[in-house]
Amino acid sequence: MRKYLLFITAFCFGIFSSQSAKPSLGINVVDVIPTGNNYLKDGVKNFIGVGLTFQTIFRNNMGFGVELSRAFSEVKDISIYGDLDSPQLTNISAYFVYKYPLTEAFNLEGQIGLGLLALTSQSRYTQDKYTENASAFQLGSEISYKFPKAKKVEIYASPKIYFFDSLVGFQEKDLDRYYSRSLLLNINVGLRLNLNQK
Amino acid sequence: MVEKLKINLVSKLLPMNLKLTLLSLSVLLCISCEADYVNNSRVFVEGKVTSQNQSANGIPISLNTWLYPISQGTTKSDGSFSLGGPDAADEISLVLGKKIISFSTDSKECYLDIDSLSIKLPENLEHVKFSNITIE
Protein backbone atom coordinates (compact mmCIF):
# COMPACT_ATOMS: atom_id res chain seq x y z
CA MET A 1 0.00 0.00 0.00
CA ARG A 2 2.76 2.41 0.95
CA LYS A 3 4.62 1.61 -2.24
CA TYR A 4 1.55 2.44 -4.28
CA LEU A 5 1.03 5.74 -2.48
CA LEU A 6 4.66 6.64 -3.04
CA PHE A 7 4.32 5.78 -6.69
CA ILE A 8 1.18 7.89 -7.02
CA THR A 9 2.74 10.92 -5.33
CA ALA A 10 5.86 10.61 -7.46
CA PHE A 11 3.67 10.41 -10.52
CA CYS A 12 1.70 13.47 -9.43
CA PHE A 13 4.87 15.49 -8.99
CA GLY A 14 6.00 14.45 -12.44
CA ILE A 15 2.79 15.77 -13.89
CA PHE A 16 2.91 19.00 -11.89
CA SER A 17 6.27 19.86 -13.35
CA SER A 18 5.18 19.46 -16.97
CA GLN A 19 3.79 22.69 -18.38
CA SER A 20 1.21 21.57 -20.91
CA ALA A 21 -0.74 19.24 -18.63
CA LYS A 22 -3.73 20.45 -16.68
CA PRO A 23 -3.79 18.65 -13.35
CA SER A 24 -6.66 19.07 -10.93
CA LEU A 25 -7.57 17.92 -7.47
CA GLY A 26 -11.16 17.26 -6.51
CA ILE A 27 -13.10 16.45 -3.38
CA ASN A 28 -16.62 15.17 -3.63
CA VAL A 29 -19.61 13.60 -1.96
CA VAL A 30 -20.34 10.06 -3.16
CA ASP A 31 -23.70 8.35 -3.31
CA VAL A 32 -23.61 4.70 -4.37
CA ILE A 33 -26.97 3.21 -5.31
CA PRO A 34 -27.08 -0.57 -5.91
CA THR A 35 -29.50 -1.45 -8.71
CA GLY A 36 -30.70 -4.61 -10.44
CA ASN A 37 -31.58 -7.98 -8.92
CA ASN A 38 -28.80 -8.78 -6.47
CA TYR A 39 -27.92 -9.04 -2.79
CA LEU A 40 -26.68 -5.46 -2.51
CA LYS A 41 -29.91 -4.02 -3.88
CA ASP A 42 -32.03 -6.22 -1.58
CA GLY A 43 -29.72 -6.42 1.41
CA VAL A 44 -28.23 -2.97 2.03
CA LYS A 45 -29.28 0.68 1.84
CA ASN A 46 -27.60 3.29 -0.36
CA PHE A 47 -23.99 4.10 0.44
CA ILE A 48 -23.01 7.69 1.24
CA GLY A 49 -19.44 8.86 1.62
CA VAL A 50 -16.58 11.04 0.41
CA GLY A 51 -14.13 10.78 -2.44
CA LEU A 52 -10.87 12.30 -3.64
CA THR A 53 -10.00 12.55 -7.30
CA PHE A 54 -6.83 13.46 -9.06
CA GLN A 55 -7.25 14.12 -12.73
CA THR A 56 -5.01 15.49 -15.41
CA ILE A 57 -5.71 16.47 -19.01
CA PHE A 58 -2.93 16.20 -21.56
CA ARG A 59 -3.19 17.19 -25.21
CA ASN A 60 -6.32 16.87 -27.35
CA ASN A 61 -8.58 17.03 -24.28
CA MET A 62 -7.50 13.55 -23.27
CA GLY A 63 -6.17 12.53 -19.91
CA PHE A 64 -6.50 10.20 -17.00
CA GLY A 65 -7.71 10.20 -13.44
CA VAL A 66 -7.38 8.37 -10.15
CA GLU A 67 -10.17 8.16 -7.63
CA LEU A 68 -10.22 7.15 -3.99
CA SER A 69 -13.48 6.96 -2.13
CA ARG A 70 -15.13 5.43 0.88
CA ALA A 71 -18.87 5.18 1.40
CA PHE A 72 -20.94 3.90 4.30
CA SER A 73 -24.24 2.10 4.49
CA GLU A 74 -26.55 0.07 6.71
CA VAL A 75 -27.89 -3.46 6.42
CA LYS A 76 -31.51 -3.53 5.26
CA ASP A 77 -32.24 -7.26 5.29
CA ILE A 78 -30.26 -9.58 7.60
CA SER A 79 -31.61 -12.74 5.98
CA ILE A 80 -30.10 -11.75 2.61
CA TYR A 81 -26.92 -9.88 3.51
CA GLY A 82 -26.15 -11.79 6.72
CA ASP A 83 -26.10 -10.73 10.35
CA LEU A 84 -23.50 -8.01 9.82
CA ASP A 85 -23.25 -4.33 10.65
CA SER A 86 -22.39 -1.04 8.90
CA PRO A 87 -20.90 -2.16 5.57
CA GLN A 88 -18.43 0.24 3.97
CA LEU A 89 -17.33 0.35 0.36
CA THR A 90 -13.76 1.39 -0.38
CA ASN A 91 -12.93 2.15 -3.99
CA ILE A 92 -9.64 2.76 -5.78
CA SER A 93 -9.99 3.29 -9.48
CA ALA A 94 -8.14 4.63 -12.47
CA TYR A 95 -9.75 5.86 -15.65
CA PHE A 96 -9.20 7.54 -19.00
CA VAL A 97 -10.86 10.87 -19.60
CA TYR A 98 -12.05 12.73 -22.64
CA LYS A 99 -12.98 16.31 -21.82
CA TYR A 100 -15.13 18.15 -24.30
CA PRO A 101 -15.53 21.91 -23.85
CA LEU A 102 -19.14 22.90 -24.45
CA THR A 103 -18.72 26.60 -23.76
CA GLU A 104 -16.11 28.71 -21.99
CA ALA A 105 -17.52 27.71 -18.64
CA PHE A 106 -19.16 24.32 -19.17
CA ASN A 107 -17.26 21.12 -19.86
CA LEU A 108 -18.56 17.68 -20.65
CA GLU A 109 -16.48 14.63 -19.83
CA GLY A 110 -16.54 10.93 -20.59
CA GLN A 111 -14.69 8.35 -18.48
CA ILE A 112 -13.82 4.70 -18.87
CA GLY A 113 -11.83 2.76 -16.30
CA LEU A 114 -11.25 -0.03 -13.85
CA GLY A 115 -11.60 -0.10 -10.09
CA LEU A 116 -10.80 -2.28 -7.12
CA LEU A 117 -13.45 -2.36 -4.44
CA ALA A 118 -13.55 -3.76 -0.94
CA LEU A 119 -16.85 -4.20 0.85
CA THR A 120 -16.07 -4.53 4.55
CA SER A 121 -18.70 -5.25 7.20
CA GLN A 122 -18.41 -5.11 10.95
CA SER A 123 -19.97 -7.62 13.30
CA ARG A 124 -21.98 -7.11 16.46
CA TYR A 125 -20.61 -10.31 17.93
CA THR A 126 -16.90 -10.36 17.17
CA GLN A 127 -13.99 -8.03 16.46
CA ASP A 128 -13.36 -9.82 13.20
CA LYS A 129 -14.49 -8.07 10.04
CA TYR A 130 -15.90 -9.65 6.92
CA THR A 131 -14.53 -8.44 3.58
CA GLU A 132 -15.59 -9.07 0.03
CA ASN A 133 -13.17 -7.92 -2.65
CA ALA A 134 -14.40 -6.99 -6.07
CA SER A 135 -13.26 -5.54 -9.33
CA ALA A 136 -15.36 -3.08 -11.26
CA PHE A 137 -15.45 -1.88 -14.82
CA GLN A 138 -16.67 1.68 -14.85
CA LEU A 139 -18.31 4.02 -17.32
CA GLY A 140 -18.78 7.61 -16.32
CA SER A 141 -19.83 11.02 -17.48
CA GLU A 142 -19.38 14.41 -15.96
CA ILE A 143 -20.56 17.95 -16.37
CA SER A 144 -18.47 20.68 -14.81
CA TYR A 145 -18.77 24.42 -14.47
CA LYS A 146 -15.76 26.71 -14.26
CA PHE A 147 -16.37 29.98 -12.41
CA PRO A 148 -15.58 32.86 -14.81
CA LYS A 149 -14.07 35.01 -12.04
CA ALA A 150 -12.10 32.25 -10.35
CA LYS A 151 -10.97 29.89 -13.08
CA LYS A 152 -9.07 27.76 -10.62
CA VAL A 153 -12.32 26.51 -9.11
CA GLU A 154 -14.73 24.16 -10.81
CA ILE A 155 -17.87 22.43 -9.57
CA TYR A 156 -18.87 19.10 -11.05
CA ALA A 157 -21.56 16.46 -11.03
CA SER A 158 -20.67 13.02 -12.27
CA PRO A 159 -22.94 9.99 -12.59
CA LYS A 160 -21.06 6.72 -13.14
CA ILE A 161 -21.95 3.09 -13.57
CA TYR A 162 -19.87 0.41 -11.83
CA PHE A 163 -20.12 -3.19 -12.97
CA PHE A 164 -19.34 -4.77 -9.60
CA ASP A 165 -18.01 -8.33 -9.72
CA SER A 166 -16.82 -9.83 -6.43
CA LEU A 167 -14.70 -12.89 -5.65
CA VAL A 168 -17.63 -14.60 -3.92
CA GLY A 169 -18.65 -17.67 -5.88
CA PHE A 170 -21.40 -20.26 -5.94
CA GLN A 171 -21.67 -23.29 -8.17
CA GLU A 172 -25.28 -22.59 -9.03
CA LYS A 173 -25.37 -19.92 -11.71
CA ASP A 174 -28.35 -17.87 -10.56
CA LEU A 175 -27.11 -17.81 -6.99
CA ASP A 176 -23.63 -16.87 -8.15
CA ARG A 177 -25.00 -13.96 -10.14
CA TYR A 178 -27.19 -12.85 -7.24
CA TYR A 179 -24.37 -12.89 -4.67
CA SER A 180 -21.36 -11.70 -6.66
CA ARG A 181 -22.52 -9.24 -9.28
CA SER A 182 -24.19 -5.90 -9.00
CA LEU A 183 -24.74 -2.72 -10.92
CA LEU A 184 -23.77 0.27 -8.84
CA LEU A 185 -24.93 3.74 -9.79
CA ASN A 186 -22.33 6.11 -8.44
CA ILE A 187 -23.17 9.81 -8.19
CA ASN A 188 -20.38 12.21 -7.36
CA VAL A 189 -20.91 15.92 -6.68
CA GLY A 190 -17.92 18.00 -5.74
CA LEU A 191 -15.45 20.82 -6.04
CA ARG A 192 -12.30 20.78 -8.14
CA LEU A 193 -9.15 22.87 -8.01
CA ASN A 194 -7.32 23.40 -11.30
CA LEU A 195 -3.71 23.47 -10.22
CA ASN A 196 -1.98 24.82 -13.34
CA GLN A 197 -4.64 27.41 -14.18
CA LYS A 198 -3.47 31.03 -14.18
CA MET B 1 23.98 -44.42 37.94
CA VAL B 2 22.16 -44.27 34.63
CA GLU B 3 18.81 -44.47 36.36
CA LYS B 4 19.72 -41.62 38.65
CA LEU B 5 20.67 -39.52 35.69
CA LYS B 6 17.39 -40.36 34.03
CA ILE B 7 15.42 -39.32 37.09
CA ASN B 8 17.41 -36.11 37.29
CA LEU B 9 16.74 -35.36 33.67
CA VAL B 10 13.03 -36.07 33.99
CA SER B 11 12.65 -33.93 37.07
CA LYS B 12 14.44 -31.10 35.30
CA LEU B 13 12.47 -31.45 32.09
CA LEU B 14 9.04 -31.92 33.61
CA PRO B 15 8.38 -28.34 34.75
CA MET B 16 9.50 -27.07 31.36
CA ASN B 17 7.21 -29.53 29.64
CA LEU B 18 4.35 -28.49 31.88
CA LYS B 19 4.91 -24.88 30.97
CA LEU B 20 5.10 -25.78 27.33
CA THR B 21 1.93 -27.84 27.41
CA LEU B 22 0.12 -25.08 29.31
CA LEU B 23 1.31 -22.53 26.78
CA SER B 24 0.37 -24.61 23.78
CA LEU B 25 -3.00 -25.42 25.37
CA SER B 26 -3.77 -21.76 25.95
CA VAL B 27 -2.72 -20.92 22.40
CA LEU B 28 -4.93 -23.71 21.09
CA LEU B 29 -7.83 -22.50 23.21
CA CYS B 30 -7.40 -18.97 21.92
CA ILE B 31 -7.42 -20.18 18.35
CA SER B 32 -10.41 -22.45 18.78
CA CYS B 33 -12.42 -19.77 20.60
CA GLU B 34 -12.37 -17.53 17.56
CA ALA B 35 -14.95 -18.33 14.93
CA ASP B 36 -13.70 -15.93 12.31
CA TYR B 37 -15.41 -15.01 9.10
CA VAL B 38 -13.96 -16.38 5.89
CA ASN B 39 -13.48 -13.46 3.51
CA ASN B 40 -14.84 -13.69 -0.02
CA SER B 41 -16.93 -16.71 0.85
CA ARG B 42 -20.66 -16.86 1.47
CA VAL B 43 -23.18 -19.48 2.49
CA PHE B 44 -26.76 -19.88 1.36
CA VAL B 45 -29.41 -22.17 2.82
CA GLU B 46 -32.97 -22.48 1.56
CA GLY B 47 -35.89 -24.82 2.10
CA LYS B 48 -39.37 -25.31 3.39
CA VAL B 49 -40.72 -25.90 6.87
CA THR B 50 -43.92 -27.84 7.48
CA SER B 51 -45.54 -28.31 10.84
CA GLN B 52 -47.76 -31.06 12.19
CA ASN B 53 -50.00 -29.00 14.43
CA GLN B 54 -49.33 -25.31 13.84
CA SER B 55 -48.91 -22.87 10.99
CA ALA B 56 -45.43 -22.72 9.50
CA ASN B 57 -45.71 -18.99 8.92
CA GLY B 58 -43.34 -16.55 10.65
CA ILE B 59 -41.15 -19.06 12.46
CA PRO B 60 -37.81 -17.46 13.41
CA ILE B 61 -34.93 -19.31 11.77
CA SER B 62 -31.20 -18.63 11.77
CA LEU B 63 -27.76 -19.81 10.74
CA ASN B 64 -25.41 -19.97 13.72
CA THR B 65 -21.81 -20.72 14.52
CA TRP B 66 -21.41 -21.93 18.08
CA LEU B 67 -20.74 -18.33 19.16
CA TYR B 68 -22.97 -16.06 17.14
CA PRO B 69 -25.55 -15.97 14.33
CA ILE B 70 -24.44 -15.22 10.78
CA SER B 71 -27.91 -14.87 9.30
CA GLN B 72 -31.43 -14.54 10.66
CA GLY B 73 -34.90 -14.54 9.17
CA THR B 74 -38.42 -15.88 9.40
CA THR B 75 -40.39 -18.33 7.29
CA LYS B 76 -42.88 -17.04 4.72
CA SER B 77 -46.59 -17.86 4.70
CA ASP B 78 -46.00 -21.16 2.87
CA GLY B 79 -43.18 -22.12 5.24
CA SER B 80 -40.38 -21.45 2.77
CA PHE B 81 -37.23 -19.68 3.85
CA SER B 82 -33.88 -18.54 2.46
CA LEU B 83 -30.89 -17.41 4.47
CA GLY B 84 -27.64 -15.94 3.17
CA GLY B 85 -24.65 -14.86 5.16
CA PRO B 86 -20.87 -14.68 5.44
CA ASP B 87 -18.97 -17.95 5.72
CA ALA B 88 -17.32 -18.71 9.06
CA ALA B 89 -14.39 -20.95 9.95
CA ASP B 90 -16.57 -23.04 12.20
CA GLU B 91 -19.34 -25.60 12.06
CA ILE B 92 -22.55 -23.87 11.05
CA SER B 93 -25.99 -25.06 12.07
CA LEU B 94 -29.50 -24.21 11.02
CA VAL B 95 -31.39 -23.30 14.19
CA LEU B 96 -35.16 -23.50 14.30
CA GLY B 97 -35.77 -23.43 18.05
CA LYS B 98 -38.56 -25.97 17.58
CA LYS B 99 -38.32 -29.73 17.78
CA ILE B 100 -37.43 -31.12 14.36
CA ILE B 101 -38.98 -34.48 13.59
CA SER B 102 -37.48 -35.15 10.18
CA PHE B 103 -35.82 -33.43 7.25
CA SER B 104 -34.80 -34.22 3.70
CA THR B 105 -31.99 -32.62 1.76
CA ASP B 106 -29.73 -33.12 -1.23
CA SER B 107 -26.62 -32.87 0.95
CA LYS B 108 -25.62 -36.11 2.69
CA GLU B 109 -23.52 -34.63 5.46
CA CYS B 110 -26.29 -32.85 7.33
CA TYR B 111 -27.34 -34.36 10.64
CA LEU B 112 -29.73 -33.57 13.45
CA ASP B 113 -28.26 -32.13 16.64
CA ILE B 114 -28.71 -34.09 19.89
CA ASP B 115 -31.38 -31.70 21.17
CA SER B 116 -33.31 -31.93 17.84
CA LEU B 117 -33.59 -28.14 17.77
CA SER B 118 -31.04 -27.59 15.02
CA ILE B 119 -29.47 -29.24 11.98
CA LYS B 120 -25.69 -29.36 11.72
CA LEU B 121 -24.58 -28.39 8.23
CA PRO B 122 -21.59 -29.85 6.36
CA GLU B 123 -18.16 -28.39 7.04
CA ASN B 124 -17.50 -27.03 3.57
CA LEU B 125 -21.00 -25.92 2.81
CA GLU B 126 -21.73 -23.37 0.18
CA HIS B 127 -25.33 -23.98 -0.71
CA VAL B 128 -27.73 -26.41 0.99
CA LYS B 129 -31.30 -26.96 -0.08
CA PHE B 130 -33.84 -28.62 2.21
CA SER B 131 -36.84 -29.97 0.30
CA ASN B 132 -38.66 -30.40 3.59
CA ILE B 133 -38.16 -29.90 7.32
CA THR B 134 -40.98 -31.24 9.50
CA ILE B 135 -41.34 -29.75 12.97
CA GLU B 136 -43.66 -30.63 15.81
The total number of structural domains that make up chain A: 1
Residue A83: inside a domain: yes
Mean pLDDT of A134-148: 93
pLDDT at A27: 96
CB A48 within 8 A of CB A81: no
CB A90 within 8 A of CB A117: yes
pLDDT at B53: 82
**A99, A23, A34, A14: which is closest to A66 by C-alpha?**
A23
- Binary contact (B39, A175; C-beta < 8 A): no
pLDDT at A1: 64
Residue A190: inside a domain: yes
Tell me the chain A residues in contact with residue B66 when contact means C-beta distances shorter than 8 Å. Answer: none
Tell me the chain A residues in contact with residue B41 when contact means C-beta distances shorter than 8 Å. Answer: 168
- Binary contact (A179, B42; C-beta < 8 A): yes
Residue A73: inside a domain: yes
Residue A2: inside a domain: no
Judge whether residue B10 has pLDDT over 80: no
Tell me the per-residue pLDDT of A146-159, one tens digit each, with 9 for 90 and over: 988 888 899 999 99
Tell me the per-residue pLDDT of B105-114, one tens digit each, with 9 for 90 and over: 888 888 888 8
State chain A's mean pLDDT as an integer. 90
E strand spans, chain B? 37-51, 60-64, 69-74, 80-88, 93-95, 100-105, 111-112, 118-120, 127-135
Tell me the per-residue pLDDT of A45-97, one tens digit each, with 9 for 90 and over: 999 999 999 999 887 889 999 999 999 999 999 999 999 999 999 999 999 99
Of B35, B83, B127, the CB nearest to A171: B127
* Global confidence as pTM: 0.79
* CA separation for the pair A133, A156 (Å, rounded): 29
Domain at A141, CATH number: 2.40.160.20
pLDDT at A160: 95
Domain that residue A84 falls in: 23-194
Look at the alpha carbons of A125, B89, B49, B110 in this order and tell me if their dihedral is positive or negative: negative
The residues, ordered by sequence, that sit 6+ positions from B63 with a Cβ below 8 Å of its Cβ are B43, B45, B69, B70, B71, B72, B83, B85, B92, B93, B94, B95, B121
Residue A3: inside a domain: no
Residue A17: inside a domain: no
